[in-house]
Amino acid sequence: MMIAFAVESTPTYYISSFMQGHASFLASPSTQRARAIHESRFIMSSTTPCILDRTSDRIESSQPDYPTDDVCASPDIEWDVQTRAIHSGLSPDPTTGAILTPIYQTTTYVQDAVGQDRGFTYSRAGNPTVYALEKQLAALEGVDVPAVAYSSGLAAITALFLAETSAGDTVICSDVVYGGTVRLCKDILSRFGVRAVFVDTSDINAVEQALTDNPQTRIVFIESPANPTLKLTDIQAVATVAHAFGATVAVDNTFLTAALQKPIDLGADIAVYSTTKYIEGHNSTVGGALITKDSLRYELYKHAQKTLGAPQSPWEAWLTIRGLKTLPFRIRQHSIHALEIARWLEADERVATVYYPGLPSFSQHELANRQHINQLHGGMISFEIQGGASAGITLMNNVELCSLAENLGAVETLITHPASMTHASYADEERDRLGITDGLVRLSVGLEHPRDIIADLDRALHIACT
């Protein structure tokens, strides 16, 4: 099966075949052509050679250190997301027939002879359980190139930036994003000459202006819905503009997942995940992933996984595979519960403002309905109550069923104070300007009965507002 991929920002195309496996993929003339295109792109736009340049030995090699099977190019791509989540990318264990992928808790793999391995050599570079998760994630996204799984969402974002940028490059980033992404840009990338420009990506003119002002932009990094204000970015519009400037578009899709939003179908080049949230969904693991349909990018991210040394581990991967199987059901129910609770909050006079993309009062409700699948908007709500910061903090300190904690996207309802918890890395004035006020409450609506969550909020609101 031949697949054509567009190498972004150049008019040239290359052809590859995943059915032939990576060994032939890496050695094929078309691959060498793709590599040349990619390298020349980096050399043209950067004074420092990119990571790919430093890996020529590896890229020239015909010995990949991960399997060479047919990855996940399968007819089941036609299946509904519900079916794909359970079956795609996964197959019974070939030696025992075990229906679930075993946990391959091993560092290394005995080779048949020098230079003859069975697809895996060392678990930092590839592990069968992690690889099963990577195929499952790709299938859910609807792409036939495996995902690359990392030990955390932030490890995935770090790998993305380090694989794609060099000193002198600029990253344009949504102004409202997870605080850890801001910390990574400001505290780490800046020291290596990669500059981050924070832009209101919900404003397409601001994005275009930033691209014009920063011709060395390598990546436009969007988070939509954004953590914690739920501000949306029109992914299709930004992808069109960014591509016209030769930039790559990555979307942190952690809040919705591929079950509710498909960044790659909307024109983005990369979907980014913290699998810690909805994907695993049970507060059991920390993990992350990068997904692309560009097989050359896959090579870059795979190289980063091995070289930066932050792959997902087999036990976490196994739990994530299990969680992912029920993701479509869970996130639908999270969305239904969240809408019910958002409506209740909005109708309560003790509540000043509610941000939920599913509410008609949400300023980007029309975009939400266009961009999110089945008009479901996920399980995250933010709100402010009358009485400002002190009332909000009293509310958070007095919930009983909801847990005051930092994670999101799991079956338990979690309540968070972004200003002091997830977004503490922003300066006070910056947080205020972006709407992350001291009184903002973030609610990750779980799968308890919404009536019970409402009763808990009602009781805590009573304490906070009297």
Quick one: which segment of 123-131, 134-142, 149-157, 346-354 binds ligand PLP (CB under 6 A)?
A: 149-157
Among 42, 120, 161, 178, binds ligand PLP (CB under 6 A): 178
Shortest Å distance, C-beta 221 to ligand PLP: 11
In terms of CB distance, is 16 or 276 closer to ligand PLP?
A: 276
306 is catalytic: no
Where in 264-303 is the site for ligand PLP (CB under 6 A)?
274, 276, 286, 288
Among 180, 358, 392, 439, binds ligand PLP (CB under 6 A): 180
Four-residue CA torsion sign, 372, 374, 377, 378: negative
For residue 296, which amino acid is it?
L
178 is catalytic: yes
Residue nearest to ligand PLP (CB): 153
Q: Is 364 in the site for ligand PLP (CB under 6 A)?
A: no
Among 254, 257, 261, 382, binds ligand PLP (CB under 6 A): 254
In terms of CB distance, is 227 or 292 closer to ligand PLP?
A: 227
Quick one: which segment of 91-99, 147-155, 188-196, 367-375 binds ligand PLP (CB under 6 A)?
A: 147-155
Q: Is 154 in the site for ligand PLP (CB under 6 A)?
A: yes
Q: Is 223 in the site for ligand PLP (CB under 6 A)?
A: yes
Shortest Å distance, C-beta 178 to ligand PLP: 4
Active site residues: 124, 178, 252, 277
Q: Which residues bind ligand PLP (CB under 6 A)?
A: 152-154, 178, 180, 223, 227, 252, 254, 274, 276, 286, 288, 422
